[in-house]
Every structure is written in structure tokens, then in C-alpha cells.
Amino acid sequence: MPPAPGAYASYIAVGDSFTEGVGDPGPDGAFLGWADRLAALLADRQARAGGGFRYANLAVRGRLLDRIVAEQVPRAVELAPDLVTFCAGGNDILRPGSDPDAIARRFEAAVAELSAAVGTVLVCTGFDTRGVPVLRHLRGRIATYTAHVRAIADQYDCPVLDLWSLRAVQDPRAWGEDRLHLSPDGHARVALRAAQVLGLEVGGEGEPAWPPLIRKAPAQVRRDNIHWAREYLVPWIGRRLRGESSGDHVLPKRPELLPLEKSAS
């Protein structure tokens, strides 16, 4: 029997920088991110119902799908929580010449493995990148992969965190200075949407309205673009040329399925 809406006593987050929470720094120096924020909402729901809650976050920035499947999926299967969020494939799509059909086949095999061991597997679509300058040219490839993810979710009865249609992240303030990762406000809005998908009562539509956007003068836009290229684009290209990843020496921030002691904020 499936749990009551929002009733999950254990949760493991699987993925890359998006799920690790890059762009959303916490008070202790580690990243928070939408998955930690979702875990806090789930833990609060369990506490109100008189139950406990355990959480692990295995995600590591820069991870490609195959490495996520090799390192994180078996651990999630072994621990068999009530809920797994599985968001992967975005870094593969960024690679020149990547094939979204082939990536989706490997994604589906992992979903099948997780679904056989886990109560609920929530999957994520890609973002609609029409408003993200550094990713706009990948929109067609991301759309193809997103269509596959939705079809896989239908086949395995997975709830879907549909980032493509989430209006809240189509505002530039949802993205951090690097233009590749969400800002704290962006992560918070994704967490609310994920909670809504899982049946939690979060109020409204899960997409708090942004205040009116103050447009920058063209000269300031040019200065911002120069700063972004120097601080983020050039180092990113350098890592690609050297075959390095931002997560080469990073370990999962919460590798064990342990009680969540305090809420993310």
C-alpha cells in the first residue's frame, strides 16, 4: 500500500550538483539545495504525525550519469528507503555530441533497478533553457531527454518533478552568478514544487511569485557578462580541456541514511 500523501520516513537523494545543492550555501559552509529543503519539509510532516525521518544525500557535483549509476544507485538500492529522488543526465547533455536517446536508455535501466527496491522513485526533467544564455543552444537536446524522462516515469509509475514547466525557475533570479546552478531562491522554489508533487500541503501552487524585476542598464549587463566570462566560463572551459570535474575530490555530504536533526532553511 502506498504511503499517505507526503508520508515518507526515509529519503535518499541521488544525482549531481543540482541535487547536491550547488548555488545554495548553508550556514556551515556546505551546500543546502532543494533536496535538503525537501527533506526538511518531509521531516516536519513526519514529526507532526509522530514519526521519525532519516535522510541521505549521495549527490556529487560534476557527476555524469554512468558514475551516478555505478556509485550512488547501488547504495540507494541497498538502503531501500521509502523515497529516492533521481535527477541525472544533465552533465551528459552538456557534452558536445551527446545523444539524449542513448542517455535516456541508461537512465531507464537505473530507474528500473531503483523501482524494484524503493517505495517511490521521483525523477526530474530537464530545465527549459530558453532564457539561460550559456545553455540556450542545448534546448532541443534537453527537450528530447525530457520527453524520454516523462515516458520512463509513466512506464515505472514515478512521480515527476517537471522542471521544464516550472515557471518559477524561468526568472533570472532563480539562477546563481555562474548561470549554471540555481540560486538559493531557485532551490527553495524547486523544493516547494517537489513537495507538492509528493503530496505535501505547501500552500498555493508551490511557486511563490517573484517581485517585479528591475531591468539593468545595457552597460551594466555588459559588465556582468565580462565578469561572468572571467570568473565562471573560462575556468569551466579550462576544466573541460584538462579532463577535470568540479567534483573530482568531493565526497557526498550526507552519505549515511541518518535521522535529520534540524530543518534546512
In the chain, domain spans: 10-208+250-259
Of the chain, the percentage scoring pLDDT greater than 70 comes to: 90
- Arithmetic mean of pLDDT, 142-164: 98
- 99 pLDDT more than 90: yes
Residue 207 confidence (pLDDT): 64
Of the candidates 33, 16, 22, which has an alpha carbon nearest to the alpha carbon of residue 68? 16
Q: Collapsing DSSP states into helix, strand and coil, what is residue 45? A: helix
Instruction: Say what the pLDDT of residue 30 is.
Output: 86
pLDDT at 5: 66
The pLDDT of residue 1 is 43
pLDDT at 34: 98
* 147: phi then psi, degrees, rounded to nearest 5: -60, -40
* Per-residue model confidence as pLDDT tens digits over 59-84: 999 999 999 999 999 999 999 999 99
Cell of 105: 536508455
Per DSSP, helices labelled H in 63-135 are: 65-71, 73-79, 90-94, 100-115
Q: What is the mean pLDDT of the chain?
A: 89
Residues 189-248 pLDDT 10s: 999 999 999 999 886 555 677 888 778 888 877 787 777 777 767 776 777 666 767 767
Tell me whether strands 83-87 and 54-57 are parallel, antiparallel or unpaired. Answer: unpaired
pLDDT of residue 163: 97
Whole-number Å distance between alpha carbons of 165 and 162: 6
- Cα angle at 229 between 180 and 182, to 5 degrees? 20
| 10-208+250-259 CATH choice from 3.30.420.10, 3.40.50.720, 3.10.450.350, 3.40.50.1110 | 3.40.50.1110
Predicted TM-score (pTM) of this structure: 0.90
